[in-house]
């Protein structure tokens, strides 16, 4: 059932038919999802707190399954990785995100999630550069969001690829910061442009003094090490106020806007810009 309005682009059915999943049918369906035009990107704004303006949209993948309805990425991205589909689908995501972004005001960036497998693919950098060229986007309009798992194995190679892209002007963000095992060492070994503080921290910020202090410390680290901090999963005014008071650079979350379909982008820009 549609639990929420059409506009917000969330999934309509949260639980997958477990049997469907087990039977392997879902994996087969996923193989043809791209060809059958069942994949979509929706976009969630990232807002700068100093300028009170949208500085980026994050592209979030959606699968509109013909019988199961919209399936959550946490369900099908692991499937994509197991079924060797992450590279072709990931490539489509990059192209589609750049295509959409080329229609936006040029001070708004596009942020794309990249899985570890994609980064290991030969020719990943040129894939990125081709997408930018195809839609005449400046490299600085694109940000790649990676998680620590990207850096865990093959650190050297991953770092080289990312550094190479960054030297060409593409921005690199560390996603889900704080959820991995050795976050701090990654900050030392790579100059990320943005650090995205995981939403689990933002959720607890008000109720746990310790969590609030950790957020404040990460923001302080950002000032010292010269990266911007983005708070993910901001759901209420108290969290927003706390983040403002601590000098957090950017925020993202349902309190500001849910992810929206591409044709809603201009409405979101109109709503959130200005004052
Ligand atoms: P993520 O990169 O951490 O993306 C943020 C997730 O938090 C999104 O879930 C977004 O809808 C959700 N979110 C945003 N604001 C709030 C909030 O205020 N409260 C709560 N509770 N949630 C919020 P989504 O779209 O289900 O994506 C889940 C994950 O799937 C993403 O987490 C990302 O890791 C992965 N993903 C999504 N699209 C892609 C893609 O194109 N490629 C790859 N490799 N992974 C993707
Ligand atoms: Ca992300
Ligand atoms: Ca995240
Ligand atoms: Ca996540």
ipTM score here?
0.98
pLDDT at 2: 39
Whether the pLDDT of residue 153 is over 90: the answer is no
Question: Residues 6 or more apart from 14 whose CB is under 8 A from it?
Answer: 72
Which one of 80, 113, 131 would you pick to mutate in the ligand 1 pocket, going by the greatest count of ligand atoms within 8 A of its CB? 113
How confident is the model at residue 189, as a pLDDT?
A: 82
> What percent of the chain stands above pLDDT 90?
72
- In whole angstroms, give the CA distance from residue 197 to residue 229: 7
Q: How confident is the model at residue 168 (pLDDT cuts 50, 70, 90)?
A: very high
Judged by average pLDDT, the poorest of 89-103, 142-156, 218-232 is 142-156
The band of 9, judged by pLDDT with boundaries at 50, 70 and 90, is: low
51 or 132, which is more confident?
132
The rounded Å distance from CA 184 to ligand 2 centre is 19
pLDDT tens-digit map of 26-41 = 888 999 999 999 999 9
Whether the Cβ atoms of residue 42 and residue 254 lie closer than 8 Å to each other: no
Strands (E) located in 103-153: 109-113, 142-146
Q: Which of 167, 86, 182, 170 lies closest to 133 in space, CA to CA?
A: 170
Instruction: State what percent of residues in the chain have pLDDT above 70.
Output: 91
Q: How far is the CA of 16 from the centre of ligand 2 (A)?
A: 23
Q: What pLDDT is attached to residue 10?
A: 57
Q: Which residues contact 7 (CB under 8 A, 6 or more apart)?
A: 258, 260, 261, 264
Instruction: Among 11, 30, 33, 60, name the best residue to mutate to test ligand 1's pocket (greatest count of ligand atoms within 8 A of Cβ).
Output: 60
Give the HSE-up count for residue 260: Cα atoms under 13 Å, Cβ half-sphere.
20
Contact between 200 and 169 under an 8 Å Cβ cutoff? The reply is no
CA of residue 175 to ligand 2 center, whole Å: 6
The per-residue pLDDT for 3 is: 44
Q: What is the mean pLDDT of residues 116-133?
A: 94
CA 101 to each of CA 6, 21, 116, 207: distance values in angstroms, whole numbers, following the listed order: 22, 34, 23, 38
pLDDT at residue 18 greater than cutoff 80: no
User: Residue 84 and residue 231: Cα distance in Å, rounded?
Assistant: 32
State the closest ligand 1 atom to the C-alpha of 196, by its place in the atom list counted from 1.
Answer: 3
Q: Indicate the helix (H) or strand (E) that contains 251.
A: strand 250-251
Q: Which atom of ligand 1 is nearest to the CA of 198?
A: 3
Identify the pLDDT of residue 180. Answer: 77
What is the distance between the alpha carbons of residues 197 and 183, in angstroms, rounded to a whole number?
Answer: 11
Average pLDDT over all residues of the chain: 90
Please list the residues that pair with 109 across neighbouring strands: 56
Q: Are the C-beta atoms of residues 115 and 144 closer than 8 Å to each other?
A: no
Residues 180-217: tens digit of each pLDDT: 776 688 888 889 999 999 999 999 987 888 999 999 99
Q: What is the pLDDT of residue 7?
A: 46
Within the chain, how many helices (H) and strands (E) appear?
13, 9
Task: Give the 3-state secondary structure of residue 77.
Answer: helix
Average the pLDDT over 9-38 and give the result.
Answer: 76
User: What does the longest C-alpha to C-alpha distance in the chain come to?
Assistant: 53
Q: Model's pTM, two decimal places?
A: 0.93
Compute, in angstroms, the gap from residue 135 CA to the centroid of ligand 1. 25
């Amino acid at each position: 059932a549609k639990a929420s309005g059409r506009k917000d682009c969330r999934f309509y059915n949260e639980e997958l038919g477990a049997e469907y999943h087990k039977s392997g049918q879902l994996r087969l369906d996923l193989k043809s999802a791209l060809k059958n035009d069942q994949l979509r990107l929706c976009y969630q704004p990232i807002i700068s707190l100093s300028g009170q303006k949208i500085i980026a949209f994050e592209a979030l993948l959606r699968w509109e399954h013909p019988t199961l309805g919209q399936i959550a990425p946490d369900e099908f991205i692991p499937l994509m990785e197991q079924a060797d589909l992450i590279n072709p689908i990931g490539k489509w995501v990059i192209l589609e995100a750049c295509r959409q972004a080329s229609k936006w005001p040029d001070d708004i960036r596009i942020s794309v999630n990249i899985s570890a497998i994609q980064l290991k693919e030969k020719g990943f950098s040129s894939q990125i550069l081709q997408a930018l060229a195809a839609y005449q986007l400046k490299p600085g309009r694109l940000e790649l969001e990676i998680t620590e798992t990207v850096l865990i194995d093959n650190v050297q190679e991953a770092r080289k690829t990312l550094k190479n892209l960054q030297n060409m002007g593409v921005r690199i963000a560390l996603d889900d910061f704080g959820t991995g095992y050795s976050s701090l060492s990654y900050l030392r070994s790579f100059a990320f442009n943005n650090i995205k503080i995981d939403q689990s921290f933002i959720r607890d910020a008000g109720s746990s003094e310790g969590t609030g202090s950790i957020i404040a410390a990460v923001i302080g680290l950002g000032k010292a090490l010269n990266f911007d901090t983005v708070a993910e999963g901001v759901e209420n005014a108290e969290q927003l106020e706390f983040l403002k008071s601590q000098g957090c650079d950017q925020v993202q979350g349902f309190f500001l806007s849910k992810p929206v379909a591409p044709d809603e982008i201009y409405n979101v820009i109109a709503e959130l810009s200005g004052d």
